[in-house]
Chain A
């Protein structure tokens, strides 16, 4: 498929040079559930050239309410496999590396090393701290999304930033889940938050626009509250 046809509607929001820059970039998406599935879909369509897709989990019925990659016929199928197939179906020009495993500190670092951006689409706070540590070590900026019910939050953490300690507190390194265990997660909030994460990713790669660095964007959809808070 011709470059100019495939990306015709990206122009001139992106210039052809910017589109090529996206095509020459690598993004690692860690977690392929409600957030990661949406991020995967959007970054594939935007035209990121290389995607590293990581999740050790398989689909189950409770994913169907919000995870775009989940389908009834895919129950029991690894999420990373479904993500790979989806990217291939949407944009066969993308190089996909998929890993069906839950990563630890060492493998996280090995997996994200050399990426231009890491997307934190995980579902537990302790693992988020581990991914942040790996991203700092690898010198890669991290775009974080987190959701509970109809509340979403997004921030971008550069290697030298304090990051999650400002949001969850350093003492929360060992905390598992947040309040999403009580609220569940709603489809439109997951995809809305994934969209904001995707936007941050593109802005980092293109070095364009305002990035949520040391800031936390909070959206609360019952009351239509959208606010960018200063973390420092």
Chain B
């Protein structure tokens, strides 16, 4: 198991698990699997940032990663 620092933004915040800053997951988890495991509906996550850099859903999470997930923000 590894621990990540998980942040969910705007409308995704309702899916934030307890202990999100030290959230435990399996070592081979992709972002896609994490999103599914959190119960976030398909298509709601538009932007994935790992340690301040944009990544794809196929990114395999590592110990200590800072993970930020964002829905589409388009208002003016």
Contacts and interface: CB of A to CB of B under 8 A. Distances in A.
B41 to A, nearest CB: 12
B74 A178 contact: yes
Given A172-B46, A227-B52, A229-B53, A151 B10 contact: yes
Contacts of B72: 125, 168, 172, 175, 178-179
Contact of A166 (B54, B70, B75): B54
Q: Give chain A's interface residue range (CB within 8 Å of chain B).
A: 35 or more
A180 B73 contact: yes
A171 to B, nearest CB: 9
A201 interface: no
Interface stretch (A19-27, A46-54, A93-101, A141-149): A141-149
A154 to B, nearest CB: 11
Nearest to A176: B74
A180 B75 contact: yes
Contacts of B10: 148-149, 151, 179, 183, 220
Contacts, number: 88
A169 interface: yes
Contact of A182 (B9, B11, B46): B11
A72 interface: no
Interface string A78-104: 000000000000000000000000000
22 contacts: A31-B76, A123-B75, A125-B74, A146-B74, A147-B73, A147-B75, A148-B11, A149-B10, A168-B74, A172-B72, A175-B74, A178-B73, A180-B75, A182-B11, A183-B10, A216-B54, A218-B70, A220-B10, A225-B7, A227-B52, A227-B68, A229-B52
Interface of A: 31, 33-36, 121-125, 128, 145-149, 151-153, 166-169, 172, 175, 177-180, 182-183, 185, 216, 218, 220, 225, 227-232
